[in-house]
Amino acid sequence: MMRTKFFLMVLAAIVMGSQVTLFAQEKKETKSERRQFNKEQMLEIQCNQIIKGLALDDATAAKFIPVYKQYMEEMQATRHMGVCRNVANRTAADKQIPKPVPTDAEVEQAIKARFAQSRKILDIREEYYNEFRKFLSPKQIQKMYNMEKHNGDKFRKEMKKRQGMKKQHDGRRHMSQGDVKK
């Protein structure tokens, strides 16, 4: 009787220990899934998604890949033209200083720069439409544009989510034990 209870207790401990080990392994796997990709990897993933979504055969995919990559590189360069993106380089002290109110001339210059950027993007889209049209149907091109928009929306949503998580964690990190309300 005593041996049976001891055996059951040991068995229960082993089962519970194995469950904890499995749970810990699952957690590690989900963190590794959240790895970050560089621009080339993201472009490769997006390209493969579009090839799969359009169900392109190997010959068409071989034509599509270099044209699509060049198209995306030009689009990315144009989206970043003339835009000052020094937010990441700002120090914590810089972020505390309020931004100066822009003058009318600065606002007008920014608006005209956005117009020029929009024209350039339109020119690229038209140019590459003609390139894509050599091996894709108009319906396939439209589907590609829709997939790009969907991917962009997902990317923006994920970035907002991560920024929100970062702000949440930054706020917690600065609290000390004495700051906690009782």
The answer to the question of residue 36 being in a domain is: no
Reduced to 3 states (helix: H, G, I; strand: E, B; else coil), residue 181 is coil
Could you give the CA distance from residue 165 to residue 107 in angstroms, rounded to a whole number?
A: 32
Whole-Å CA distances, 8 to 14, 21, 58 = 10, 20, 60
Residues found in the chain: 182
First to last CA, the chain: 51
The answer to the question of residue 156 being in a domain is: no
Predicted local distance difference test score (pLDDT) of residue 124: 95
The answer to the question of residue 91 being in a domain is: no
What is the tally of structural domains in the chain?
Answer: 1
Whole-Å CA distances, 69 to 7, 117, 148 = 63, 20, 13
pLDDT digits (tens, 9 = 90+) for 2-58: 676 666 666 666 766 655 544 555 555 454 455 677 788 888 888 999 999 999 999
The answer to the question of residue 127 being in a domain is: yes
Burial of 120 (0-12, 13-18, 19+ CB in 10 A): middle
pTM of structure? 0.60
Predicted local distance difference test score (pLDDT) of residue 167: 65
Q: Please report, as a single letter, which amino acid is at residue 102.
A: P
Could you give the CA distance from residue 102 to residue 99 in angstroms, rounded to a whole number?
A: 9
Of 35 and 140, the one with more pLDDT? 140
Predicted local distance difference test score (pLDDT) of residue 8: 64
Helix runs in the chain, H state only: 2-33, 39-54, 58-79, 92-96, 104-132, 138-173
The answer to the question of residue 143 being in a domain is: yes
Name 63's Cβ contacts closer than 8 Å, sequence gap at least 6.
134, 135
Mean pLDDT to the nearest integer, 153-160: 84
The answer to the question of residue 164 being in a domain is: no
The parent domain of residue 65 ranges over 49-69+104-150
DSSP classification of residue 97:
S
Whole-Å CA distances, 64 to 55, 74, 94, 140 = 12, 15, 45, 12
The answer to the question of residue 135 being in a domain is: yes
